[in-house]
Amino acid sequence: MHAEIPPASESATSSDSNVPWYKELNRYHWFVLAVSALGWLFDCLDQQLFLLARGTAMKDLLQEGQDINEYGGYATAIFVLGWATGGLIFGSLGDRIGRAKTMMITILVYSVCTGLSALSKGFWDFAFYRFITGLGVGGEFAVGVALVAEVMPDKARPHALGLLQALSAIGNVSAAFVEWGLSTVERTGGLPGAMDKWRIMFLIGALPALLALIVRWKLKEPEKWQQMKERGETATAGSYAALFRDPRWRKNAIIGLILACAGVIALWGIVFFVFDLVGSVMRKVLAEQGLSGADLDGAVGQWKGKTSLMLNLGAFSGMLAFTKFTQRTSRRLAFAVSFVGAMFSTAFTFWVLQEPWHIYVLVPIMGFFMLGIFGGYAIYFPELFPTYLRSTGTSFCYNVGRFLAASGPWTIGLLSSRVYGHTDEPLRYAGITMCSIFLVGLAILPFAPETKGQPLPE
């Protein structure tokens, strides 16, 4: 794919409003979208591999007497804290040194450290690798969406950003197939005796490092960023002080932060624990059918893979639906519908899920509403900030929210072990309790600026 298109063509727009958005894209536009989507896709592959491998990794790495649910919550919280820290660091760096350079660095960081996770000997070195992995994972999103937002024509921008986020589901689905395939091999006794399945999964997660070579070779900095540099605005580019000095950007940052908190806490503190709930439910169902030992472990892993597949099929549809709906209505109404739908579908899933067929029905609906919110984040956050603060502001919203979101998996772990530990399925009741977080997102929406149909601020 040839990428050497004159910079002036980056923001070319069509005068015909009836032309579909994708008709306005040239080869370089598609190249930028493909590279950014792959970076975020592999990013999500890593996080999904972690979620699918978390239970068995904790089982192998923890000492006797340590609770798997509690320490699984700690490991997830540490990963999310790394994500938040990396997002703030690399988000600022993206405005200072450029989107393409920063994207290359983040891809290398999360790929290499995902592979190192496979070498863990105990909980704390595993947690350390997950923290460093999180640094790269957190930084990639903001620079990716800033890059796409600045390169695309105005009409195509929300559609391209929504598609970028929707394609992240492909990374999650790929992780589901990895889990499914390895569990099938494990069930037949085909895995090497000295190599645990979860370690193989993390080694697979190291492969995206090759994408960094393509980024370094072909990707250019956006024309808007180059113009900002030529105007001499780099002194304040990527400055969190500058972000909060201006009342407009400060207000947008705080509103975006609260919006992000609702979705990110819900995703990491409730929805991603559905894999553990399914593992608990299916272990009982399959044990009643006479399965045991490695055969039982492999079958449970297969059902976790199916759960991931169902969740992300719903997510892909939900993010595309959010993109269409927000273009027909408004950003605020689309968020409101998604928050309400996510709250009820998530609580209902955790309350009702008892049978295998529930996974095929309830989990996709939950994924549709819950992950549709993240399609909104990709579209909305870059529209809130000017070029010299776009990556910084997006990172602030998405990643300071993650510092607070780290309380989600920590809290659900504590609720499961300390509050509902006396019940047969503590994770079920902990998840339902935490669904109240969606009310926070609904409460801030009346104060959120409407950005539909407006050019990016400068």
Residues 6+ apart with CB under 8 A from 424: none
pLDDT at position 4 is 41
pLDDT digits (tens, 9 = 90+) for 396-433: 998 887 777 667 776 777 787 777 777 777 888 888 88
Contact by Cβ (8 Å): 263, 148: no
Instruction: Compute the distance between CA of residue 373 and CA of residue 366 in angstroms, rounded to an integer.
Output: 11
Instruction: Compute the distance between CA of residue 263 and CA of residue 311 in angstroms, rounded to an integer.
Output: 16
| 65: region left, alpha or beta (phi > 0 left; psi from -120 to 50 alpha) | left
Tell me, what amino acid is at 320? L
Contact by Cβ (8 Å): 234, 242: no
Q: Which residue has the higher pLDDT, 194 or 156?
A: 156
Contact by Cβ (8 Å): 451, 380: yes
CA atoms within 13 A on the CB side of 301: 30
In this prediction, residue 129 has a pLDDT band, given cuts at 50, 70 and 90, of very high
| 232: region left, alpha or beta (phi > 0 left; psi from -120 to 50 alpha) | left
**What are the structure tokens assigned to 147, written together?**
């890059």
pLDDT at position 190 is 65
Q: Angle at the Cα of 282 (from 279 to 288), degrees rounded to 5?
A: 140
In this prediction, residue 455 has a pLDDT band, given cuts at 50, 70 and 90, of confident
SS3 state at 79? helix
Instruction: Compute the distance between CA of residue 175 and CA of residue 51 in angstroms, rounded to an integer.
Output: 10
pLDDT at position 2 is 39
pLDDT digits (tens, 9 = 90+) for 195-234: 688 888 898 888 877 776 667 667 788 888 888 888 776 6
> Exposed, middle or buried: residue 30 (CB in 10 Å: 0-12, 13-18, 19+)?
middle
Helix axes 157-187, 293-328, angle to 10 degrees: 170
Name the nearest CA neighbour of 291 among 183, 382, 409.
183
Instruction: Compute the distance between CA of residue 142 and CA of residue 226 in angstroms, rounded to an integer.
Output: 18
Residues 6+ apart with CB under 8 A from 450: 330, 331, 332
For the chain, the straight-line distance linking the first and the last C-alpha, in angstroms and rounded, comes to 31
pLDDT digits (tens, 9 = 90+) for 246-272: 999 999 999 999 999 999 889 878 887
Q: Is the pLDDT of residue 8 over 50?
A: no
Q: Is the pLDDT of residue 11 over 50?
A: no
pLDDT at position 406 is 67
pLDDT digits (tens, 9 = 90+) for 306-348: 898 899 899 999 999 999 999 999 999 999 999 999 999 999 9
Contact by Cβ (8 Å): 71, 130: no
* C-alpha to C-alpha distances, 410 to 67, 354, 427, nearest whole angstrom: 13, 25, 12
pLDDT at position 216 is 66
pLDDT at position 17 is 62
Name the nearest CA neighbour of 219 among 33, 405, 377.
33
* C-alpha to C-alpha distances, 348 to 149, 314, 342, 441, nearest whole angstrom: 36, 16, 10, 19
Name the nearest CA neighbour of 266 among 168, 404, 169.
404
Contact by Cβ (8 Å): 138, 83: yes
Contact by Cβ (8 Å): 372, 120: no
Superfamily of domain 24-447: MFS general substrate transporter like domains (1.20.1250.20)
Name the nearest CA neighbour of 93 among 385, 384, 391, 387.
391
pLDDT at position 431 is 87
